[in-house]
Amino acid sequence: MIPALSSACLTTLTFEGLPLSEALQAAAGREVDLGIRPEHIRVWPDVAPDRWPFEVDAVEFTGHDAFLVGKTPRQAGLRSVSTRIMTAVWPIALSLVSGFMCSCRSDIYCFSILTLALGSRMAETCRLRTLRFDGGTEDGARLIEVGNAAGLSIDLLPDQCLDVGIVRYRGVPFGWIGENGLAPARPGEMDQALGGLLYTCGFDHIRQPANDGLRHLPLHGSMSLRRAIVTTTQVLEDGSAEVCATVAHGTLSGQSWRLHRRVTLPPDRAEISIEDRVEARGRGEITPIMALYHINLSAPQISPDTLVEVATRMRPDLPGTEDFTFCEPAPANGQLIQVSDGGRDPRRCFRLSFDKQALPWLQFHRRTAAGGGLFCIEPTTHNRQPRGELLRDETPLNGSVERRFQLVMSFGSGSA
């Protein structure tokens, strides 16, 4: 059971399975008498409304969500209180200090708190759940589900170096999943790779398999084949969600690569930020840091109506109707790559920005035969050339080196 809000509240809510930020607890230090009458939300006909004195000013329904704003007449200093009601798939116990208790059915609604203390609104916090797949090709694999008030929900895959699985924005999915699902890939299983929205390629190697002396380098490198150690899953003081993990890969000769990944989701915008810090250590061998971020889009984003813009310039050659792979210099910093349907459905808009200094090349890949018509946007550290040519001027590494990468993905035409 998550700790209750401040004991100074007249009304205290406790949750099972939902994280509460410290900011919310601190802001709840004032006396609040929060109430929701059943006639306003039409789901609890057996609730005694006199237990929850609450004057509702507005009720707004959006899909399965209801947003209520009103006044608490017993507190002149507290101007208004708002509460968000959202669908839940697990039972939550709701207890009130006033002595009233009720148990919500799993198919109805649960509470996420939003309070307006002295007239200033607290942002709704993000939601975090840790799950495991049961059955199928992904059986036993971990999944971290993160959602926010903007209607964005993302699946993080700890058993695939904390890559991003399927993302949903107001019911529209983003990403690609083949017949093999999201099972963690193993070396040599080319057809099983790349599932989800983001698949990390690197950091010892990128692109097609290759040999480096006696070492065989798998398709797209070794990092995505490694399971992450999740170090942080929390809701921050501003309501944002933060998930951090480390992933390591090494060789018997002493080479090693370590990824420190931080994924953040704001409470009120349809946006994902990914910050990677990669350390490489070597003992007299060529030990590069090579990165390619394989971002995969398919139906419904990819269709005959799809429009692609790179740095505000329309690209009629993309996404294309034939298979291809090509690489070009990345757009200037701050310039977006946008995939949309021309505004017919604002939810289907996807935007990507990244640091050109760290990822100076941009590769595009198209597989029309793949389920949903696979179209890939791939910021990368290296041009599309054989490994030997790319590393010709590299010097052996004695010690360590570090590089940082950042990507921001946003969803919907109003989220940039």
User: What secondary structure letter does DSSP report for 3?
Assistant: P
Q: Give the model's pLDDT for residue 4.
A: 29
* Cα 415 to Cα 411: distance, rounded to the nearest angstrom: 6
* Cα 112 to Cα 106: distance, rounded to the nearest angstrom: 15
* Cα 209 to Cα 140: distance, rounded to the nearest angstrom: 28
Domains recognised in the chain with CATH numbers: 22-121 (no CATH), 127-411 (2.70.98.10)
Q: Give the model's pLDDT for residue 166.
A: 95
Spell out the per-residue pLDDT of the chain, length 416, in tens: 323 222 222 222 222 333 333 333 433 333 333 333 333 333 333 333 333 344 445 544 444 444 444 444 443 333 333 333 332 222 222 222 222 222 222 222 223 222 222 223 334 689 999 999 888 888 899 999 999 999 999 999 999 999 999 999 999 999 998 877 887 766 655 555 578 999 999 999 999 888 887 788 888 899 988 999 999 999 999 999 999 999 999 998 889 999 999 999 999 999 999 999 999 999 999 999 999 999 999 999 999 899 999 999 999 999 999 999 999 999 987 789 999 999 899 999 999 999 999 999 999 999 988 777 899 999 999 999 999 999 999 999 999 999 999 999 999 986 44
Q: Which residue has the tokens 């017949």?
A: 179
Distances (CA, A) of 176 to 8, 60, 155: 48, 34, 13
* Cα 159 to Cα 199: distance, rounded to the nearest angstrom: 12
* Cα 55 to Cα 317: distance, rounded to the nearest angstrom: 57
Distances (CA, A) of 172 to 44, 66, 214: 30, 20, 46
Q: Which two tokens stand for residue 200?
A: 């990390």
Q: Which two tokens stand for residue 149?
A: 């008030």
* Cα 253 to Cα 374: distance, rounded to the nearest angstrom: 38
* Cα 175 to Cα 161: distance, rounded to the nearest angstrom: 17
Q: Give the model's pLDDT for residue 74.
A: 40
* Cα 115 to Cα 71: distance, rounded to the nearest angstrom: 11
* Cα 352 to Cα 347: distance, rounded to the nearest angstrom: 15
- Rounded to the nearest 5 degrees, what angle is found at the Cα of 253, between the Cα atoms of 358 and 379? 20
3-state DSSP percent of the chain in helix, strand and coil, to 5? 5, 45, 50
Phi and psi at 388, nearest 5°, equal -60, -40
3-state secondary structure of 27: helix
* Cα 339 to Cα 348: distance, rounded to the nearest angstrom: 8
* Cα 370 to Cα 308: distance, rounded to the nearest angstrom: 19
H or E element: which one contains 143? strand 142-147
* Whether 332 contacts 356, CB under 8 Å: yes
H or E element: which one contains 141? none
* Cα 68 to Cα 212: distance, rounded to the nearest angstrom: 62
Question: How far is CA 19 from its chain centroid?
Answer: 17
* Cα 371 to Cα 393: distance, rounded to the nearest angstrom: 40
